[in-house]
Chain A
Amino acid sequence: MTDSKPGRDLIEAAVQGHNTDYIEIRLDDTRSNRIVYRGKELEEIGRVTNFGGCVRALVNGGWGFASFNDPAQMRPMAEAAVSQARHVGAGRSNLAPVEPVVASVAPVVRQDPRVIPLARKKEILDSYNETMLAVDGVTSTNIIYSDAHKSVTFANSEGAYIEQERIDVVSRLAATARKNGDMQQASMSLGALNDYSYVEKQAENAEFLASRAVELLNAPYCEPGVYPVVLDPILAGVFCHEAFGHLSESDFVYENDRMKEIMVLGAEFGQKHLNIVDGAAVPDLRGSYAYDDEGTPARKTDLIRDGILVGRLHSRETAGIMGEPPSGNARAMDYRFPPIVRMTNTYIEPGDATFEEIIGDIKLGVYAKNWYGGTTSMEMFTFSAGEAYMIRDGKIAELVRPVKLTGNLFTTLKNIDAIGTDLDFNQGGGCGKGGQMPLPVSNGSPHIRIQDCVVGER
């Protein structure tokens, strides 16, 4: 296997000797495997090598960016990026200072998917597929498995030179049941960093999803309306990401005076029991890493502490312009994109309410779990539950078809009136922003209760 990655001296030379305020280069080599099933058939299997590089330059506050697949293009692309930046720049560059790091970070790999033979992966996925198809009433299935090993080299004009590697394993199991033109699905998306082992432990989930898809055909829709809602840790994690995480990304704030008025440190965002953090320094999760894509060391950032806004997520530029410390949240999907402010591992810290206490007070409400997806428009957010039940007189009652939940961020955070003890993480999702998706992230929470949530029937 030929290795066309250039040597360190060539990479460093590419970012030296330019007349810029700042310039960086990133080379990215990602090797991935993907297996897809649909129904009885294995639909596709494939292997991808995605190799390339990019250069980003800053001159007088303007950015230039060039990406390429041929490493022989490093220097000309660097020059192109510089010339673009010069064309744009009309002000002052402002990057928060970061001590340049020279490091080579080897991941702690628990179980490497690359040493698992393809035959074994197929065997285990075949078994899940058969398990689902064997359930009476299941008409079809969809399984997606992928593993990707990424090796990134970063260098900048300040003397940083960092090599990092990571392995992402993601999977989705779905079962479909159909009757009289009505179709229902049950699915679960999971993932892990540097560890294949969870993939071999999904037999019970496969069984559950298959039966659930069939059950949903007979389940009623939830009456649309406004309800107290209890979210399981997984869905509450998605809620946290959509409802608050994106608002913490400073690139939405740093040049918007109105947003700065809203997102002022010290403002009250939730009740005293609410604590939300984000950080790649939280280990062994999909959003974990040692250095971000600008060479800034990862950390753990308090976003909300005791209900008060105390922090936000930054790139070097947003930190510099806002006069705040950089937080290590500048990330790029791959070499085709410049880094922008992204979340990492974002979660609500545990409180002290038991599950019985959380549901016990609810006369009529909804218990929602798992997820299909979520989106945000800063002020408003939506997220889709994978499972939902009515809560009646303090008890979990009938299964209903999966619901959609929405709300106003500012009122909803304040309406979280119970936080459980059982923190858990959703690692099966990927975040989308600025065309860069799916970016590996995790989000988590304990069980939480939210008053006055708008619930749609589907």
Chain B
Amino acid sequence: MKELLDDILSEAKKRGAESAEVYHVSTEETPVRFEANRLKELNARQTAGVAVRVIAGGRIGFASSTRPGDVEDVVAAALDTAPFGPEAKFSFPPNAEPATVKTYDPAIENLTTDQMIETGKTLVETVREVEPELQCDASIRRARGTVALANSNGGYFTHRASSVSAWLHGTLIRGTDMLFVGGADASCSPILNTDEITGDVILQLERCKQNADTKTAELPVIFTSLGVAEALLGPLIMAFSGRLVFQGQSPLVDSLGEAKYDSRVSISDDATLPMRVGSRPFDDEGVPSRKIPLIAAGVVSNFTYDLQTAALAGARSTGSAQRALTTQPAIGSANIIVEPGESTFDEMVRSVKDGIIVEELMGAGQGNVMGGDFSGNVLLGYKVENGEIVGRVKNTIVAGNVHESLNCIAMLGKETRWVGGTIQTPPIMIEHLAVSAGS
């Protein structure tokens, strides 16, 4: 591997690059897919390729290729683009001590296809026992990958990761009324708690036994952990991107150090948590990972940076560079941790005379997300009346702006949990949001 990387670096130097970086990734995934309650497809996906960044004439060029053994063409392509690229304000980092972060579990080598098939069957059978009319799709996926990164300043970084993820999705149709329930989990280890996934689905089924009416009004809204992860955090975390801040495209442009949110809110971006699928010892430019406090007791504490943005902004890389094989490094988040508060979910529900619980907002990421807006059709959510969940909400839009809403918190939940593998959050109750309801 190192030989291939060194060949590419020499080729770049030979062709006139001042400096260069090569990123090699190799992954192997074996998803097991269930459709309509039964095993449908076994997949095996192998990917390998290189991505090259060159700095030539002081500017950054980029090319990537999945052609095996590609050295000359990918370097030539990167150099072709460099004259038109942005001015490089940073240098590729030399070797550094990476953070000690466990992301590989050797037990993955012993996880067989048949075991994954059994897990899938258990997921489907458990929920169908509760609701025999439920039609389920599911997927269990095992993945292993290695990343190797080398640059012409002597930096050389490698790391290996494993992951297993599972999701279950159920459809229940009565007439033209459709209910979609589901749960998911992901970890670097093969030990999956399928009880949590099936438990989530069974609870959703229970709460949706009948439909309830809503009205167009400003109402209190409780976002479950799933709801916080899917609807609120997207637009919020985007605003902390050092790139958007530097370009004046974040509402937080002038807010560093400001107590902008409710003092109960503390949120961090942490790439160092062991055995989490968002963790890694160094970022995709070789900068060591760290825990980054974004909001500390309501105060905007840090923006996130990659090397180029940090140099432009006069800041330091926070180890937040992320890339896929075919894309250039850009600022991204690792694991997002929202600190829990004092109120239980039950306390939240009991406090509501007329309001809504949101699990899933369909379409929440479409709109003025950069400005912090979230809005969507409540795909999975419940009506609360006089402190009790009375049924499922339908044909209703909930809309707001996350920067306003985090200043309008009625209660912050105590029960924190992982959602989708990279977000850990409690439920959050917002005092009021705009609700539009159809009949």
Contact = CB atoms under 8 A, between A and B. Distances in A.
Contact of B47 (A69, A122, A457): A69
A101 interface: no
A456 B399 contact: yes
A139 B248 contact: yes
A181 B255 CA distance: 10
A374 to B, nearest CB: 7
B259 interface: no
B111 interface: no
Contacts of A182: 251, 371
B371 A406 contact: no
B436 interface: yes
A48 B65 contact: yes
Q: Which of A4, A45, A139 has the most CB of B within 10 A?
A: A45
A225 interface: yes
B81 A256 contact: no
A131 interface: no
Nearest to A40: B247
A364 interface: no
A380 B397 CA distance: 11
A379 B177 contact: yes
A211 to B, nearest CB: 17
Nearest to B85: A45
Contacts of B335: none
A47 interface: yes
A310 interface: no
B399 A458 contact: yes
B118 interface: no
B46 A375 contact: no
Contacts of A4: 67-68
A67 B44 contact: yes
Contacts of B66: 49-52, 69
A44 B63 contact: no
Interface string B232-251: 00000000000100011111
A380 B113 CA distance: 36
B204 to A, nearest CB: 14
Given A47-B77, A178-B248, A377-B362, A42 B85 contact: yes
B90 to A, nearest CB: 14
A45 B81 contact: yes
A187 to B, nearest CB: 10
Contacts of A457: 375, 399, 434, 436
Given A183-B371, A226-B438, A383 B43 contact: no
Contacts of A200: none
Contact of A38 (B85, B113, B243): B243
B61 interface: yes
Contacts of A65: 41-44
A259 B171 CA distance: 10
Interface in A221-269: 224-226, 255-256, 258-259, 262
Given A69-B48, A256-B173, A456-B399, A88 B367 contact: no
Range of interface residues on B (Cβ < 8 Å): 35 or more
A380 B379 contact: yes
A379 B251 contact: no
Scoring B42, B63, B173, B399 by chain A CB atoms within 10 A of each residue's CB, the highest score goes to B42
B293 interface: no
Interface string B390-413: 000011111111010000000000
A71 B73 CA distance: 18
Nearest to A43: B86
B65 A49 contact: yes
Interface stretch (A79-87, A270-278, A417-425): A79-87
Interface stretch (B32-40, B153-161, B194-202, B423-431): B32-40
A271 B147 CA distance: 56
Main secondary structure of the interface of A (DSSP, over half): strand
A402 B173 CA distance: 33
B263 interface: no
Contacts of A184: 368, 371
A331 to B, nearest CB: 17
Nearest to A5: B67
Interface string B17-55: 000000000000000000110111111111111000000
A23 interface: no
A44 to B, nearest CB: 5
A256 B136 CA distance: 10
A406 B64 CA distance: 40
A254 to B, nearest CB: 9
A454 B396 contact: yes
Contact of B375 (A44, A52, A404): A404
B180 interface: yes
B338 interface: no
Among B78, B243, B368, B376, max chain A CB count under 10 A is at B368
A367 B298 CA distance: 39
B43 A258 contact: no
B252 to A, nearest CB: 9
B149 interface: no
A402 B326 contact: no
B365 interface: yes
Interface string A58-86: 00001111111110110001001100110
A90 B41 CA distance: 11
6 contacts: A35-B84, A43-B86, A65-B44, A87-B42, A258-B135, A375-B362
Given A67-B43, A119-B84, 16 more contacts: A46-B61, A47-B77, A49-B74, A50-B65, A51-B67, A66-B46, A185-B368, A224-B434, A258-B135, A376-B362, A377-B178, A382-B366, A406-B438, A407-B395, A454-B397, A458-B375
Closest 9 CB pairs of A and B: A373-B366, A456-B397, A46-B62, A224-B436, A382-B363, A258-B173, A255-B36, A84-B42, A183-B371
Interface of B: 35-36, 38-49, 60-68, 70, 73-74, 77-78, 80-81, 84-86, 113, 133, 135, 171, 173-174, 176-178, 180, 216, 243, 247-251, 253, 312, 326, 328, 330, 362-363, 365-368, 370-373, 375-377, 379, 394-401, 403, 434-439
